[in-house]
Structure 1
Amino acid sequence: MRLLIVGALEGQLSTATKMAMTGGAKVAHAPSIEIALAALRAGRGADLLLVDVMMDIVGLIAGLEAERISIPVVACGVETNAAAAVNAIRAGAKEYIPLPPDAELIAAVIAAVARDNSEFLFRDPAMERVVKMADQIAGSEASVLITGESGTGKEVIARYVHSRSKRAHKPFISINCAAIPEALLESELFGHEKGAFTGAVARRIGKFEEANGGTLLLDEISEMDFRLQAKLLRAIQERLIDRVGGAKPVPVDIRILATSNRNLNDAVREGQFREDLLFRLNVVNLKLPALRDRPGDIAALSEHFVAKYAKANGLPPRMLNAEARDALLRAPWPGNVRELENTLHRAVLLSSGDMIGADAILMPDGTGLTEAARSHSLSSQLAQTAETMSRALVGRTVADVERDLILDTLDHTLGNRTHAANILGISIRTLRNKLNQYADEGTLVPSPGEQRVA
């Protein structure tokens, strides 16, 4: 893990640095906020910032947000700095570590950050097959496209591939293509030179250069603007990038992973994604099954999340009873692992005893798992019926579909023109004109009180 310590490196902060290094962290140092931001702009990334509480943490976090740099900040200082500690937390610092430093506490913070980045649990055979393929291709340099519904763990499997690759000890950099405005994404990916555009107050190293030697994850790549895809394709093919406003290409050595919750073949057919870029990215496809298709993982993850959130909230250990486990297996989980985690966090807080029953497992709107499963089943049936009806219309003209709809409605009303017109939402005059047209074309039109002969 990469740790950047911000502040005067002396005394107790120096001791904290040595403890972090002993705990396996790669440590860099910046004596001021400005130097820290400059280092991050220059591509010397970090997974965690440990900042002296007497520094301008409000300014640091504002600077990170302005630069769209997402790194957790932990403040540290002597215990007498209570007001400064409160201000740091209010500004956005994740934790406060009192000084003099405690080796176990620093190790725990580092371990927590590392665990958040690499937590991966699976038991189901469907997921085992995906992981087996990931193990087979991890050591290669092939680009990998990871697909699956939102919340299935695409970024988790990407980190897994990186951790077992030849680049495991190099940076793993992730960028969410859907979360960054279209006008800024090019700068985020390729960097920019000072003065390249309004607000470019200094040179900024992009994600490609920051990931140099390691792995770059392009998360939700399907949301990338079509015009930018051409520049991305060149960067992948040539291993050269052009900073915005730059005068010469910059070579990079990276492995590309990408994720998408959309079918990119459909996006190609719709003209929203470049086919040549898809070919470059999709050397290997890891397709993650939905959680509802991984019952073994539902059981294992449920136990894991219950233990995790009982401990995190200072509660005694809790377990799921048989009824709760059965209800979890029957639930549809449209939000996949992310939804399961949030639901069980809520269940841990709502349950009153050591055993968690099905009644404590509620959806955000207060409905239980049984009701949610029933609602999802009905929605699926309606969607399937609508899809079947839609397919039945393919290949037919609008005029043919309109004629059948009008005549079927007239059958339903036993030939009552006024009632049929009201159901169809058209005037009685329009209906009569249509019926006269159909009769002239030789179509049987029922008289009032009659139905067409089947």
Structure 2
Amino acid sequence: MRLLIIGSLNGQIGAASQIAMSRGAKVSQVDDIEMALGSLRSGKGADMAMIDVNLAIKSLVDSLANERINLPIIACGVNTDATAAANAIRAGAKEFLPLPPDPVLIAAVLEAVAQEDSRLVFADPAMKNVVDLAEQIAPSSASVLINGETGTGKEVMASYLHSHSNRSDKPFVCVNCAAIPENLLESELFGHEKGAFTGAIARRIGKFEEANGGTLLLDEISEMDIQLQAKLLRAIQEKVIDRVGGTKPVPVDIRIIATSNRDLAEAVAEKTFREDLLFRLNVVTLKIPPLRARKIDIDVLSKHFAKKYSEANGLEPRMVTDEAMAKLQLNPWKGNVRELENTMHRAVLLCQGDAITAEAILMPDGSSTPDTANGSAGQSSTASDRNAGDAGLVGRRVADVEKDLILNTLDHCLGNRTHAANILGISIRTLRNKLKLYSGEGATVPMAGSEYRYTAQV
């Protein structure tokens, strides 16, 4: 993990740096916010920043947002009162860390905020086959395509590949192609020169150059515009990129890992994805099976998350009862590991006593989880059920019914666009266009929440 320390921190910076480095972090330091922005623009990159609480944290957070630099901020201070710490959080810091530094606390913050754990929890033979193949190909520089439903852990698998590769001591840089608007993704990938477009206030090094020598993860690559795909193909083939507004090509040496929750062969047939790019990307394809096809992993992961969130909330370990496990095994887990993790986190908080019972396995709204025992996991509804549902639909416009369905699904997914699009069976781009339309009509659109992902350990 790359840690950027901003400010002098009253002489405690040396101690904090040493502790972070002893925990495996690569540390760099700058004196002020302008130097920090300059470092990030230059492509040095960082996975997390620790900043003196007395500096203008909101100014840094706003500048990062304006330049689309995603960087968790930890505020630090010596003998800082509660008001200053609270103000730092309100300004956009994720955490406050008191100084002098405590080794255990710094380690916990590094793990909690950076979430840089590439280890996997699995026991099912279906998943073991995938991991065995990943370990076999990891040392090579071959491009890899990771395919699987949303929430199966594609990004974790990509991180696992990098950590077992010959590039593990070099940067691992991620780009979510579905989360960045089309007109900005080219600049995000390839960088830009000052004045290349409105808002380009300084030269910005793109993710290709930031990942030089290491691994670049192109998450949900199927959402990339087909015109940009042509430029990506050239970058992969010729190992050079052109910054937006630049005058000469820049050489790069990276390994490409791409993920998709769609069948890219179908996207090629639909002419939304270039066939030649697909050939370049899938030298090896890792297909991660859905959680419902990994019954043993449901057991293993449920217990892992119960332990993880018991510890995270300062509770005694919560055991999973046989009745609760039976209910978990019946759930179809459309959101896969991500949904299971959220469910177990909720169960830890809701359970009575030191055991997680079936009553604690609930949906976000407090309703019981669906299961195949009562027919709610994809079995046909009865005629009376259908008639009851039709009563609320007859006489309504299709567009209005669709609008309610999309907004309710998004609300159920806590604003997670990718998860909602997967459940609805539409592309993330289609979902965004629908939400833009609804927002323009005055509808309340759920805000995007955290892009949950699971990180675990063997």
State TM-score, norm by structure 1.
0.81
Counterpart-to-counterpart distance in 1, 2:136 and 2:43: 31
Equivalent position SS for 2:12 = helix
Q: Name the residue aligned to 1:93.
A: 93
TM-superposed CA distance for 1:312, in Å, is 1.3
Counterpart-to-counterpart distance in 2, 1:9 and 1:350: 40
Is 1:67 the counterpart of 2:67? The answer is yes
Matched letter for residue 379 of structure 2: L
Q: Name the residue aligned to 2:294.
A: 294
TM-superposed CA distance for 1:315, in Å, is 1.9
TM-superposed CA distance for 1:188, in Å, is 0.2
Counterpart-to-counterpart distance in 2, 1:370 and 1:270: 34
- Which digits, 9 at most, give the CA deviation of each residue in 1:64-89, with x for residues without a partner? 11111112111110233322211111
TM-superposed CA distance for 1:118, in Å, is 2.1
1:380–1:329 Cα change, 3 Å: farther
Counterpart-to-counterpart distance in 2, 1:345 and 1:228: 39
Is 1:49 the counterpart of 2:49? The answer is yes
Q: Which has the higher helix share?
A: 1
Would you say the 8 A contact 1:333–1:339 is kept in 2? yes
Counterpart-to-counterpart distance in 2, 1:372 and 1:365: 20
Is 1:327 the counterpart of 2:327? The answer is yes
Q: Name the residue aligned to 2:379.
A: 378
Equivalent position SS for 2:196 = coil
Is 1:160 the counterpart of 2:160? The answer is yes
Identity of aligned residues (%): 66
Would you say the 8 A contact 2:257–2:281 is kept in 1? yes
Q: Name the residue aligned to 1:58.
A: 58
Stretch deviating more after TM superposition (2-11 or 163-172): 2-11
Stretch deviating more after TM superposition (361-370 or 105-114): 105-114
Stretch deviating more after TM superposition (125-134 or 323-332): 323-332
- Which digits, 9 at most, give the CA deviation of each residue in 1:98-138, with x for residues without a partner? 11222222233234456544242111100000000001100
- Which digits, 9 at most, give the CA deviation of each residue in 1:279-338, with x for residues without a partner? 000100000000000011110100011111111112221111101111111110000000
Which structure: larger Rg? Answer: 1
Equivalent position SS for 2:286 = strand
Counterpart-to-counterpart distance in 2, 1:363 and 1:32: 45
Would you say the 8 A contact 2:171–2:215 is kept in 1? yes
Counterpart-to-counterpart distance in 2, 1:224 and 1:34: 32
Would you say the 8 A contact 1:358–1:369 is kept in 2? no
Q: Name the residue aligned to 1:317.
A: 317
Q: Name the residue aligned to 2:412.
A: none
Equivalent position SS for 2:379 = helix
TM-superposed CA distance for 1:14, in Å, is 2.6
Q: Name the residue aligned to 2:124.
A: 124
TM-superposed CA distance for 1:368, in Å, is 1.9
TM-superposed CA distance for 1:380, in Å, is 10
Stretch deviating more after TM superposition (294-303 or 305-314): 305-314
Matched letter for residue 123 of structure 2: R
Q: Name the residue aligned to 1:181.
A: 181
Counterpart-to-counterpart distance in 2, 1:309 and 1:352: 15
Q: Name the residue aligned to 2:192.
A: 192
Stretch deviating more after TM superposition (240-249 or 316-325): 316-325
Counterpart-to-counterpart distance in 2, 1:131 and 1:204: 36
1:185–1:114 Cα change, 3 Å: closer
- Which digits, 9 at most, give the CA deviation of each residue in 1:139-198, with x for residues without a partner? 111100000000000000000000000000000000000000000000000000000000
Matched letter for residue 50 of structure 1: M
Counterpart-to-counterpart distance in 1, 2:200 and 2:116: 32
The aligned runs of 1:6-405 (5 Å cut-off) are 6-8=6-8, 10-113=10-113, 115-371=115-371, 374-378=375-379
- Over aligned residues, Cα RMSD in angstroms? 1.8
Counterpart-to-counterpart distance in 1, 2:284 and 2:244: 31
Would you say the 8 A contact 1:126–1:289 is kept in 2? yes
* Structure 1: 5+ residue stretches without partners: 383-454
Equivalent position SS for 1:377 = coil
Q: Name the residue aligned to 1:415.
A: none
TM-superposed CA distance for 1:381, in Å, is 12
Counterpart-to-counterpart distance in 2, 1:88 and 1:265: 48
Equivalent position SS for 1:245 = coil
Would you say the 8 A contact 1:317–1:354 is kept in 2? yes
Would you say the 8 A contact 1:4–1:49 is kept in 2? yes
TM-superposed CA distance for 1:92, in Å, is 2.1
* Structure 2: 5+ residue stretches without partners: 384-458
Counterpart-to-counterpart distance in 1, 2:73 and 2:277: 36
1:292–1:139 Cα change, 3 Å: same
Would you say the 8 A contact 1:9–1:31 is kept in 2? no
Matched letter for residue 306 of structure 1: A
Equivalent position SS for 1:3 = strand
Greater relative contact order structure (CA < 8 Å, 6+ sep): 2
